[in-house]
């Protein structure tokens, strides 16, 4: 019996190792897909199309997940199991142990079903690993990958890279954690030259085969410690972005941790280490000289000269330092890919930041309201706070196990007042008491909420934010900025950071309209 089991395991392992293209034999492969959100749905739908036997599981039972489940059943899922019990154990597929589990990125390694899969030696892939293996398809060009990770700035950088690549005449798209699943892009009837791929630490944890043309870790700071188990675990997963890089590993010269990641990376022979800095660049760096973004890495005469890539003014009238760093990182990626300096400049000029990242949304009575719902950790919130002199700060949420002392002590002098949201903002409240004892703090006690529906009589997400904005408006003075930069995740009271940002924007505009009417 043991011999047969070992033989079956070896046979499965060999089959999985052979699955490196869309045209490989996926038929009948027994797969459990963990999660029915955007990534999980895309993975399940793709695997069904490839002929795999698929069972999907998700703990959530909502109108949305039930609709998603019905769609997957219609297109050929063997089964879709919803509810808390569905994710406690690995389900059988075709009456047997599955060959593979494909997990959505948010699922922690210690989640009961994934932990059981590991104990039973069932391989676990993420949706990004699956996408990498499917990138080659007969009759269609396989897009090259430029991969981007970091604690903050990923979405901005991937958007800038996409804009630069398109300015160079390439068919390019931003995919991954930015919103469009890579699997969806692979299935589009478009022959892409290159993907600009945003990768979270979660996605990198479950990816092992990637080999990008160029890669970058923008920055690192304590984040997602609860998911990774430790800061060291978080750094180790971030560092995986550099593995098997072909041409250039891009790192932040102002953060030694990213340089060490490159030094330790196992890369393709001939791959270069290239740094970016917001200061004056040395050889093999990109940086800033006299208000210009310059390249001293991807030109032959780099020891004596630099190539101009653009100007700081191409980023807007007063680009903050983190925006400059993001632009240089994007430029380094596309320069490694062969994009000319003129296209870098044109791409920067054409780029428009998305919503929810230091986004002014209203102004009245001398007060500006700024939505930075994407500031989901202290590092990102610090970048936001640094941009303003006098702030009424709306903050709090799901803290993810991080500390707030350094953030508060650094910015205490610019705080007019703080409005706390979130089910448990005690860590942030404690840091404020220790380091900003004279700053008034106003908690919004709202209780548990869900997707904009009351739970047990609690306030909805919009009602929470309306109260927070009302408190902020009462304490803001002319010249102040009301900044919603939570330094925490949103999932305790909102569906997503986007919903949280939209709620703030709606409430802020209403408050500004009232102020204008009263004037």
CA distance 181 to 191: 16
Which regions of 177-299 does DSSP assign to beta strands (E)?
A: 194-198, 214-217, 248-252, 272-276, 285-289, 292-295
CA distance 490 to 399: 9
CA distance 376 to 357: 11
Q: Is 155 annotated as a binding residue?
A: yes
The angle that helices 256-264 and 231-239 make with each other, rounded to 10 degrees, is: 60
Q: Is 156 annotated as a binding residue?
A: yes
Q: Is 4 annotated as a binding residue?
A: no
CA distance 248 to 174: 19
Q: Is 258 annotated as a binding residue?
A: no
CA distance 307 to 70: 55
Q: Is 153 annotated as a binding residue?
A: yes
Residue owning tokens 């909502």: 62
CA distance 311 to 299: 18
CA distance 35 to 203: 14
Q: Is 208 annotated as a binding residue?
A: no
Element (H, E) at 323: helix 321-337
Residue owning tokens 């398809």: 137
CA distance 433 to 440: 10
- 278 touches 319 (CB < 8 A): no
What are φ and ψ of residue 483, in 5° steps?
-110, 120
- 19 touches 131 (CB < 8 A): no
Q: Is 481 annotated as a binding residue?
A: no
Q: Pick out the residues of the known binding site for ATP.
A: 150-156
* Residues of each annotated binding site: 150-156
């Amino acid at each position: 019996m043991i011999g047969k089991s070992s033989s079956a395991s070896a046979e499965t392992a060999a089959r999985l190792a052979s699955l490196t293209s869309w045209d490989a034999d996926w038929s009948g492969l027994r797969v459990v897909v963990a999660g029915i959100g955007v990534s999980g749905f895309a993975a399940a739908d793709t695997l069904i199309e490839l002929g795999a036997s698929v069972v999907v599981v998700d703990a959530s039972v909502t109108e949305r997940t039930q609709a998603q489940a019905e769609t997957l059943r219609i297109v050929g899922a063997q089964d879709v199991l919803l509810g808390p019990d569905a994710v406690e154990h690995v389900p059988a597929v075709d009456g047997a142990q599955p060959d593979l589990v494909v997990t959505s990125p948010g699922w922690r390694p210690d989640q009961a079903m994934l932990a059981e899969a590991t104990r039973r030696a069932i391989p676990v892939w993420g949706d990004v690993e699956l996408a990498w293996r499917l990138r080659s398809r007969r009759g269609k060009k396989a897009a090259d990958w430029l991969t981007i990770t970091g604690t903050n700035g990923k979405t901005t950088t991937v958007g800038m890279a996409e804009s630069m690549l398109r300015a160079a005449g390439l068919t390019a798209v931003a995919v991954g954690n930015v919103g469009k699943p890579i699997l969806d892009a692979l299935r589009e009837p478009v022959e892409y030259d290159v993907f600009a791929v945003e990768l979270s630490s979660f996605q990198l944890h479950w990816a092992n085969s990637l080999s990008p043309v160029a890669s970058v870790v923008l920055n690192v700071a304590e984040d997602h410690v609860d998911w990774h188990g430790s800061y060291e675990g978080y750094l180790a997963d971030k560092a995986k972005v550099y593995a098997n890089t072909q041409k250039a590993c891009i790192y932040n010269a102002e953060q030694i941790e990213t340089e060490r990641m490159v030094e330790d990376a196992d890369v393709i022979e001939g791959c270069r280490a290239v740094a970016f800095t917001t200061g004056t660049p040395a050889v093999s760096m990109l940086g800033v000289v006299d208000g210009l973004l310059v390249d001293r890495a991807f030109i032959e005469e780099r020891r004596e000269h630099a190539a101009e890539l653009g100007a700081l003014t191409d980023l807007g009238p007063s680009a903050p330092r983190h925006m400059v760093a993001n632009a240089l990182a994007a430029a380094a990626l596309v320069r490694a890919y062969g994009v000319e300096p003129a296209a870098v400049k044109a791409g920067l000029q054409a780029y428009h930041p998305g919503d929810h990242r230091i986004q002014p949304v209203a102004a009245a009575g001398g007060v500006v309201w700024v939505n930075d719902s994407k500031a989901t950790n202290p590092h990102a919130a610090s970048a936001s706070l640094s941009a303003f002199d006098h702030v009424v700060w709306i903050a709090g949420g799901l803290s993810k196990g991080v500390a707030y002392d350094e953030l508060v002590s650094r910015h205490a002098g610019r705080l007019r007042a703080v409005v706390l949201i979130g089910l448990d903002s005690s860590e942030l409240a404690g840091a404020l008491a220790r380091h900003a004892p004279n700053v008034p703090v106003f908690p919004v006690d709202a209780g548990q909420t869900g997707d904009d529906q009351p739970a047990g009589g609690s306030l909805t997400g919009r009602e929470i934010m309306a109260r927070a904005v009302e408190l902020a408006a009462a304490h803001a003075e002319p010249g102040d900025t009301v900044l919603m930069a939570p330094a925490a995740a949103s999932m305790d009271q909102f569906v997503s950071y986007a919903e949280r940002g939209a709620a703030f924007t709606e409430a802020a505009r209403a408050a500004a309209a009232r102020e204008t009417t009263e004037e």
